[in-house]
Each structure stands twice: as C-alpha cells, then as structure tokens.
C-alpha cells in the first residue's frame, strides 16, 4: 500500500464510531501489503470519547485488509 509511513495522518474508525484523526507511529512490515497494519496515536474528542486526549492503538488494519475479528480500522482521509 503506497504512502504508508510513520507521521502520516489518517482516519481511525471504531466499530460504532469515527472518524477520529490519527497519526501513524509505526508501519509494520506488512504495511505495504493488503492488510496495511499500523500502530496509531488517535486524537480523541475530549470528554465525548471518555476524557483522554489521545489513545494508542496497535496493529490496526487498513479498511481493505480487515477481517471479521477486527473491530476497528484506519483509512485515508478524503480529499478536501
């Protein structure tokens, strides 16, 4: 998957929520493959998301590579 690298801003989606802004902090070796798993620092919406300002989520798949077991995923933001 082209462009998957540390420092890129993406959208993070949970099972029943999102999008939330997130930054890729680690692109795993398979990030260029179909699953595109990455570690993310997710920016929460303050008290609307439980009060914490940021969250760390690991091994999050790209939308196109998620499985039935994956409750969350990341995707590229749409062009403005």
Domain map (residue ranges) of the chain: 9-75
- pLDDT at position 39: 93
* Closest to 24 measured CA to CA, from 1, 46, 47, 45: 1
What six digits make up the tokens of 20?
A: 């939330």
* Closest to 14 measured CA to CA, from 64, 76, 63: 63
C-alpha to C-alpha distance for 12 and 40, rounded to whole angstroms: 8
Residue 30 banded pLDDT, cuts 50, 70, 90: low
Convert the pLDDT of each residue in 39-67 to its tens digit.
Answer: 999 998 888 777 778 888 888 999 888 88
- pLDDT at position 31: 54
What six digits make up the tokens of 19?
A: 């999008």
Residue 69 banded pLDDT, cuts 50, 70, 90: confident
C-alpha to C-alpha distance for 35 and 61, rounded to whole angstroms: 5
Residue 22 banded pLDDT, cuts 50, 70, 90: very high
């Amino acid at each position: 998957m082209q462009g998957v690298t540390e420092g890129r801003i993406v959208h993070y989606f949970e099972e029943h929520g999102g999008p939330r802004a997130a930054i890729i902090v680690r692109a795993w070796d398979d990030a260029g493959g179909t699953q595109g798993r990455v570690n993310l620092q997710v920016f929460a919406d303050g008290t609307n998301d439980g009060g914490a300002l940021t969250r760390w989520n690991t091994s999050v798949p790209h939308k196109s590579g998620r499985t039935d077991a994956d409750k969350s995923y990341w995707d590229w933001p749409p062009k403005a």
